[in-house]
Structure 1
Amino acid sequence: MSSAKGAVLILGGRSDIGGELARRLCPGRPVVLAARGTHGMDKLVDDLRTLGATDIHKVDFDAAAVDSHRELITNAQQLVGEITCAVVAFGILGEQDKAEHDEHHAVDIATVDYLAQVSMLTVLSDVMSRGHIVAFSSIAGWRARRANYVYGSTKAGLDAFCQGLADKLTLDKSKDLALITARPGFVTGSMTEGMKPAPMSVTPDVVADAITAQIPTELTKKPRSVTLWIPRRLAVLAFIMRLVPRAIWRRMPR
């Protein structure tokens, strides 16, 4: 089922932020929810129907299987037609302590949070012709910290990739496509359950609101690629972080 506004694809259909974005973007549009296994999304599907989604599909998606990414997008297009909003919301936090001694776990974090993201963003930017792609960096990638440097390093690399991709899309006159790169702080939700919130923490709905504000309801002109600190005042903290001496920074907590 196609839509004049195009379809919404959520890669990471069980993620808190992905679900919140689906709820905001779904009215009058078909939605594809892609996740590792199609379980655990019934409540979200019910919400999307109530909010006006015209069609909803759940598909199995293994982010680490990068060779399957292009096929997944092709299959999604066959289900719902043109995709004009793709949200890359999959990821793992991992365990820093374990990753320091278990190279396989460190590689798992790097694969899902960087390699798979690069692969999927490359496929989406190649296949899509208009609309928005949403990617998630993090304050954790702004300056790597002793307490979470494995996860932080993936976000640093992904952020650099996204800045280059955004520039590429801006200069590409053949597409009306933009990249929204979100840099949230600590997000309270299922991924961080049990962890003490950091300063300037936000909830998934706040992140989704900030991103949705950058996506117009009608695609009438070439969209603009943007990078968003969420909340905005986090940019001030990021500036200060760069100034802290290394001897102090290495002892900073998460």
Structure 2
Amino acid sequence: MKNALGSVATVLLLGGRSEIGLAITARLVRDGARRVVLAPRAGHAPEAVAGLKEAGADEVHVIPFDAAEPDGHAALFRDARELLGDVDVVVAAFGVLGDQAAFERDPRAAARSATVNFTGHVSTGLHAAGLLRDQGHGTLVVLSSVAGVRVRRSNFVYGAAKAGLDAFARGLADALAGSGARVMVVRPGFVRTRMTEGLHPAPFAATAEQVADAVAEGLRLDRLTVWVPARLKALFAGLRLIPLPLWRRLTP
């Protein structure tokens, strides 16, 4: 649970190699978290473990995790609970970007991407909600994206999955109201990471560390939604209102 200073003690990171997820976890460790479970797709993440211990974590455990295999998700949360005791924060940071042109040539690849980016979050989100509800406290941090606020044709497979994830997370937050458990939806814009390397940065691009700082502040203030950077909230409020013919001319 949060201590008197508002910091948390335990963190479960789904997507144990995500640069944004690791930056968030490292920030929470620097703020006082001491026990962490990393859940990467492969069952080892030595550099991430070393980095979190250097940041101040006393314990860093690794559990293999495959977002596309929901049959294993119940065991993941059971094992994390055994290792951590109560889980104060679950960070759902897994996902794949992919290539829109490749998806249009290979619908099966598009479906696999959507399985990770949406279906995997549905399964893990419900498991996380059950765990946090049973505890009576804790926050599920869901990494959504501005790509889902108004989907562009240049990445509509990714954007559609993020739109579904965003709606799911908001609905889950409503379902948990009054239980002591919470969901915080994080909507970053373009973030400079390995996943976006080689892409032309969008306006107001951020770093993984800036996302981490915004998440830490959001947890401290019990926010429901976090935009990174904050100015994107007003920008996308306006973008939602652009008529479709103009939107199609303005966006690639």
Please name the residue that 1:114 is paired with: 118
Could you give the per-residue CA deviations for residues 207-254 of structure 1, whole angstroms, max 9, x where no partner exists?
0100011224xxxxxx84511111111012202211222123224445
Structure 1, unmatched stretches of 5+, are 217-222
Asked if the contact 2:117–2:162 (Cα under 8 Å) also holds between the matched residues in 1, the reply is yes
Please name the residue that 1:17 is paired with: 20
User: How many Å separate the matches in 2 of 1:51 and 1:198?
Assistant: 31
Asked if the contact 1:147–1:252 (Cα under 8 Å) also holds between the matched residues in 2, the reply is no
- Higher percent of residues as helix: 2
2:75 aligned with 1:71: yes
User: How many Å separate the matches in 1 of 2:148 and 2:55?
Assistant: 35
Please name the residue that 2:151 is paired with: 144
Q: Give the deviation of 1:162 after TM superposition.
A: 1.2
Please name the residue that 1:195 is paired with: 199
Could you give the per-residue CA deviations for residues 35-87 of structure 1, whole angstroms, max 9, x where no partner exists?
01134x32322222122212111121111001111111001112222211100
Asked if the contact 2:9–2:33 (Cα under 8 Å) also holds between the matched residues in 1, the reply is no
Let me know the Cα RMSD of the aligned residues.
1.9
User: How many Å separate the matches in 2 of 1:160 and 1:111?
Assistant: 16
Please name the residue that 2:175 is paired with: 168
Please name the residue that 1:214 is paired with: 218
User: How many Å separate the matches in 2 of 1:34 and 1:253?
Assistant: 36
Asked if the contact 1:178–1:225 (Cα under 8 Å) also holds between the matched residues in 2, the reply is no
2:15 aligned with 1:8: no
SS at match of 1:243: coil
Q: TM-score, normalised by structure 1?
A: 0.90
User: How many Å separate the matches in 2 of 1:199 and 1:225?
Assistant: 25
Structure 2, unmatched stretches of 5+, are none
Please name the residue that 2:238 is paired with: 240
Please name the residue that 1:56 is paired with: 60
- One-letter identity of the residue aligned with 2:77: I
- One-letter identity of the residue aligned with 2:211: V
- One-letter identity of the residue aligned with 2:53: R
User: How does 1:84-163 map onto structure 2 within 5 Å?
Assistant: 84-128=88-132, 129=135, 130-163=137-170
SS at match of 2:192: coil
Report the more deviating stretch, 48-57 or 136-145: 48-57
Q: Give the deviation of 1:183 after TM superposition.
A: 0.6
Report the more deviating stretch, 77-86 or 243-252: 243-252
Q: Give the deviation of 1:145 after TM superposition.
A: 1.1
- One-letter identity of the residue aligned with 2:156: Y
Describe the shift of the 1:55–1:233 C-alpha distance in structure 2 as closer, same or farther (beyond 3 A).
same
SS at match of 1:60: coil
Please name the residue that 1:249 is paired with: 247
SS at match of 2:77: helix
Please name the residue that 1:29 is paired with: 34
User: How many Å separate the matches in 2 of 1:169 and 1:152?
Assistant: 26
SS at match of 2:126: helix
Q: Give the deviation of 1:6 after TM superposition.
A: 4.3
Identical-residue share of aligned pairs (%): 42
- One-letter identity of the residue aligned with 1:37: A
